[in-house]
């Protein structure tokens, strides 16, 4: 085959295990042979719609077989898959679609309100609406059954996907990931996690995020296992599926593991088939880790970011108890350093910024050479995260160089929230910080100086953000102050804000 990329995976796997279940959603099974045929027919249909090599194919929808087949179909053509965060507000969606220059948007009907008024809907050739139906929702886009056999020359250096992540400038940035980035990331995962061909993976985290897609779905497909796709996370149903379907692989962020543990059936459920329970996004509190340990499940924590596809470090299950709370050590094909501002390596126990290098690291940001140059220096990706390394080389993430905080597994950048708050006439100045929360890990708190002569309630200010920002970015509390702390040059002192109001 000339296609060496991700798009060829269903065909390659179908040659080996055609009748094995690849995907299961709402009780409907899609075998590897069916997944290969659906992906190839959809690729032919997209080509008939004018999609060519390098074109961006955007997908806005919940977890579905339709999402998976769109991803493989786009890759089959040498096009670029663009999974869109379903939690974005209309202005954010508009920016992502415009910035990416998406050739086609495939969107699920439940997001009609979010797209209403966007220019993309004015051109019928630029979008396609579907209803989720376990892979059969895109039948109108499929090519003829005999229109298969695509074999575009796709290499590992070709662009596979753009994933948008919020930027400190207040605008999401498109992280470019090549076919090779994803392949090497999957290799890293498979070295650390003993996935097998009989794997049954429960996919409840959103596939527009790098972790669910690149750490769970794609490794499972490469190994020939079965992925149970759930449109949304429902903790009670997840526990039921773990028992009924004998789930072996699970992924979740802190809020998900907390919700699972809070279900009425958690203490009595049969979790014995769970061989791997993965987590990322933010460190899990040790109390929650012990809750799962008491049920015989060691949650394997890793550290990563979208720009690294995402795996950087892993706390392997053998060390799960001994190094509880640690982010582990570097993945097999990752090189990781903890550095001071002058880029010299820190001593054990000294906090410094995590920098990473390896074949899984992004080549840069879409159409943003300045951001790329700022993030990648001499082959090392600057993560913006602070860590402490112990004498054995294990990392513990302690803070963030940037102001970003993580709420329920979602990155929140204060600059973006502050920019939205400043559109209210009563806001003269503001600073947004993350504060601890038992459910979400962290939530936002806005510290605000009101414009002279203006007044506004907390409810009014928070309501002002509704529709302008995704709900997970909206602060949960507001503190009104007379003034914010600044240094002599007028720079806002976020550290002081955190000390006084965090």
User: What domain range includes position 457?
Assistant: 405-501
pLDDT average, residue stretch 395-415: 82
> Is residue 434 in a domain?
yes
452 located within any domain: yes
Contacts of 172 (CB under 8 A, 6+ apart): 92, 95, 96, 99, 164, 165, 166
Q: Is residue 248 part of a domain?
A: no
> Does residue 167 have a pLDDT over 80?
no
Mean predicted confidence (pLDDT) in 403-417: 84
As a whole number of angstroms, the distance between CA 37 and CA 254 comes to 37
- Using CA atoms in the order 53, 58, 62, 64, what is the torsion angle rounded to 10 degrees? -20
Residue 172 and residue 168: Cα distance in Å, rounded? 8
pLDDT at residue 267 above 60?
yes
238-257 burial code (b ≥16 CB/10 A, e <16): bbebbbeeebbbbbbbbbbb
Pair type for strands 276-279 and 380-389: unpaired
3-state secondary structure 118-186: CHHHHCHHHEEEECCCCCHHHHHHCCCCCCCCCCCCCCCCCEEEEEEECCCCCCCEEEEEEHHHHHHHH
Number of structural domains found in the chain: 1
Q: Give 163's strand partners.
A: 175
Residues belonging to the chain: 502
Per-residue pLDDT, 399:
66
User: Token pair of 39, please?
Assistant: 């992906």
Asked if residue 342 is part of any domain, the answer here is: no
CATH number at residue 464: 3.30.300.30
Largest distance between two CA atoms of the chain: 72
**pLDDT tens digits along 46-103:** 999 999 999 999 999 999 999 999 999 999 999 999 999 998 889 889 999 999 999 9
Residue 96 lies in a domain: no
Q: How far apart are CA 99 and CA 93, in angstroms?
A: 10
405 has which bridge partners?
412
Query: Residue 284's pLDDT band (boundaries 50, 70, 90)?
Result: confident
Task: Determine phi and psi for 169, rounding to 5 degrees.
Answer: -80, -5
**Per-residue pLDDT tens digits for 196-209:** 999 999 999 999 99
Task: Give the DSSP H or E segment for 374.
Answer: helix 369-375
The token pair that represents 195 in the structure block: 């996935």
Q: Is residue 416 part of a domain?
A: yes
Name the token pair of 260: 């699972």
State phi, psi for 400 to the nearest 5 degrees.
-125, 135
Band the pLDDT of 468: cuts 50, 70, 90: very high
Residue 491 lies in a domain: yes
Q: How far apart are CA 148 and CA 39, in angstroms?
A: 9
Numbers of helices and strands, H then E, in the chain: 15, 26
Across the chain, mean pLDDT equals 92
Give the DSSP H or E segment for 72: helix 65-76
- Could you tell me if residue 297 is inside a domain? no
User: Per residue in 105-123, pLDDT tens?
Assistant: 999 999 999 999 888 888 8
Q: Is 47 left (phi over 0), alpha (psi -120 to 50) or beta?
A: alpha
Q: What token pair was written down for 232?
A: 């949304």
Distance CA 315, CA 293 (A): 15
């Amino acid at each position: 085959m000339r296609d060496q990329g991700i798009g060829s995976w269903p065909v390659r796997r179908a040659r080996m295990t055609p009748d094995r279940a690849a995907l299961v959603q709402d009780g409907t099974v899609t075998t590897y042979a069916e997944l290969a045929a659906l992906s190839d027919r959809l690729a032919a249909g997209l080509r008939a719609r004018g999609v060519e090599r390098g074109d961006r194919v955007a997908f806005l929808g919940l977890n579905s077989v339709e999402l998976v087949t769109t991803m493989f179909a786009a890759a089959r053509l040498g096009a670029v898959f663009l999974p869109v965060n379903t939690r974005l507000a209309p202005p954010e969606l508009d920016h992502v679609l415009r910035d990416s220059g998406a050739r086609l948007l495939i969107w699920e009907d439940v997001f009609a309100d979010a797209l209403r008024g966007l220019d993309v809907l004015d051109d019928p050739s630029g979008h396609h609406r579907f209803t989720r139906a376990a892979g059969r929702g895109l039948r109108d886009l499929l090519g003829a059954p005999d229109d298969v056999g695509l074999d575009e020359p796709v290499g590992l250096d070709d662009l596979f996907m753009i994933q948008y992540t919020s930027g400190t400038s207040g605008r999401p940035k498109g992280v470019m990931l090549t076919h090779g980035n994803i392949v090497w990331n999957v290799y890293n995962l498979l070295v650390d996690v003993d996935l097998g061909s009989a794997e049954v993976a429960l996919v409840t985290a959103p596939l527009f995020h790098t972790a669910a897609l690149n750490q769970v779905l794609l490794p499972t497909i490469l190994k020939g296992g079965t992925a149970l796709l759930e449109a949304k996370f429902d903790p009670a149903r997840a526990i039921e599926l773990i028992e009924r379907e004998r789930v072996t692989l699970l992924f979740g962020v802190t809020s998900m593991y907390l919700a699972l543990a809070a279900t009425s059936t958690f203490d009595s459920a049969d979790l014995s088939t769970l061989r791997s329970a993965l987590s990322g996004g933010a460190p899990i509190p040790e109390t929650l880790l012990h809750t799962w340990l008491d049920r015989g499940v060691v949650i394997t924590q890793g550290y990563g970011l979208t720009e690294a596809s995402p795996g950087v470090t892993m706390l392997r299950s053998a060390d799960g108890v001994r190094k509880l709370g640690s982010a582990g050590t570097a993945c097999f094909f990752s090189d990781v350093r903890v550095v001071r501002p002058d880029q010299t390596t820190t001593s054990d126990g000294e906090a410094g910024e995590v920098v990473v290098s390896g074949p899984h690291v992004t080549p840069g940001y879409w159409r943003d050479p300045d951001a790329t140059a700022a993030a990648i220096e001499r082959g090392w990706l600057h993560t913006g995260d602070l860590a402490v390394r112990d004498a054995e080389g294990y990392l513990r993430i302690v803070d963030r160089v940037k102001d970003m905080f993580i709420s329920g597994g979602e990155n929140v950048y204060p600059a973006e929230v502050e920019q939205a708050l400043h559109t209210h006439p009563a806001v003269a100045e503001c600073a947004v910080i993350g504060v601890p929360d038992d459910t979400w890990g962290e939530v936002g708190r806005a510290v605000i100086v009101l414009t002279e002569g203006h007044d506004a309630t907390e409810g009014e200010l928070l309501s002002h953000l509704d529709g302008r920002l995704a709900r997970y970015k909206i602060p949960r509390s507001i503190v009104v102050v007379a003034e914010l702390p600044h240094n002599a040059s007028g720079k806002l002192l976020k550290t002081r804000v955190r000390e006084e109001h965090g």
